[in-house]
């Protein structure tokens, strides 16, 4: 069990116990619901975008430690990013968890790196990426809405 410390690092356990930006937003610009039917993880992501920049992002729902910590860390990482930067960060993060080759572009993961250990637990990758996929869906919906306006 001790070697699981690679997976469940202190930072992850801390974010799981005290998730940041864990709140529902009453009037978000963007919103999406994500499900991981395999394990019952469910997450809602709320998004406020001002002038193409992620001004606020929050989540609520119910998930395992990997899912909750990843969502919590995601909200911190995304704040202040432009939409393009946010999407690039999602790509880079997703790449780090699913591919052996390094990500071709220079998009540093920063603190998100502690989640890279999940790569060695293939059944748990979906847990770590659920919040990001949900964020991506919320952003796409928002962009879709704007472009049709």
Partner 1 sequence: MNNTAQYDVVSIRNDFPILGKQIHGKPLVYLDNAASSQHPVQVIDAIKELYESGYSNIHRGVHQLSQDATKAYEDARASVRGFINADCMHEVLFTSGTTDAINLVAQSYARPLLQKGDEILITHMEHHSNIVPWQMVCEQTGAELKVVPISDKGELEMDRFAELLSERTKLVSVVHVSNALGSVNPIKTIIDAAHAKGVPVLVDGAQSVPHIPVDVQALDCDFYAFSGHKLYGPTGIGVLYGKEKLLNAMPPYRGGGDMILSVSFEGTTYNTLPYKFEAGTPNIAGAIGLGAAIEYVQKIGLSAIAAHEHGLLEYATMELKQIDGLRIIGEADQKAGLVSFVLDTVHPHDIGTMLDAEGVAIRTGHHCAQPVMERYKIPATARASFGMYNTFQEIDVLAKAIDKTIGMFA
109 strand-pairing partners: none
Note whether 41 binds partner 1 by CB under 8 A.
Answer: yes
CB 35 within 8 A of CB 95: no
Alpha-helical runs (H) found in the chain: 10-17, 65-78, 83-98, 122-148
Looking at 53, 121, 125, 137, which residue binds partner 1 (CB under 8 A)? Answer: 121
Looking at 18, 23, 55, 62, which residue binds partner 1 (CB under 8 A)? Answer: 62
Note whether 63 binds partner 1 by CB under 8 A.
Answer: yes
CB 40 within 8 A of CB 75: no
Quote the least distance from Cβ 43 to partner 1, whole Å.
Answer: 11
Q: How is residue 73 written in tokens?
A: 């860390």
User: Which of 26-34, 72-80, 86-94, 121-129 is the region at the interface with partner 1 (rule: CB under 8 A)?
Assistant: 121-129
Taking phi over 0 as left and psi of -120 to 50 as alpha, with beta for the rest, 59 belongs to: beta
Note whether 65 binds partner 1 by CB under 8 A.
Answer: yes
By C-beta, is 29 or 41 nearer to partner 1? 41
Q: Which phi and psi (to 5°) does residue 121 adopt?
A: -125, 80
Note whether 15 binds partner 1 by CB under 8 A.
Answer: no
Note whether 64 binds partner 1 by CB under 8 A.
Answer: yes
Q: How many CB atoms lie within 10 A of CB 147?
A: 7
Residues in touch with partner 1 (CB under 8 A): 1, 3-4, 7-8, 13, 16-17, 38-42, 62-68, 121, 124, 127
């Amino acid at each position: 069990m001790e070697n699981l410390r690679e997976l469940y690092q202190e930072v992850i356990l801390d974010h799981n116990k005290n998730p940041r930006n864990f709140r529902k937003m009453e009037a978000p610009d963007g919103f999406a619901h994500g499900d991981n039917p395999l394990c019952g993880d469910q997450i809602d992501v709320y998004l406020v975008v001002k002038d193409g920049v992620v001004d606020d992002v929050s989540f609520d729902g119910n998930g395992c430690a990997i899912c909750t910590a990843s969502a919590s860390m995601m909200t911190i990482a995304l704040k202040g990013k432009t939409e393009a930067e946010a999407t690039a960060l999602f790509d880079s993060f997703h790449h780090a968890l699913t591919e052996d080759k390094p990500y071709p572009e220079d998009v540093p993961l920063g603190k998100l790196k502690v989640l890279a250990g999940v790569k060695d637990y293939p059944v748990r990758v979906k847990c770590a990426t659920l919040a990001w996929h949900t964020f991506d869906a919320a952003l796409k919906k928002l962009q879709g809405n704007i472009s049709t306006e």
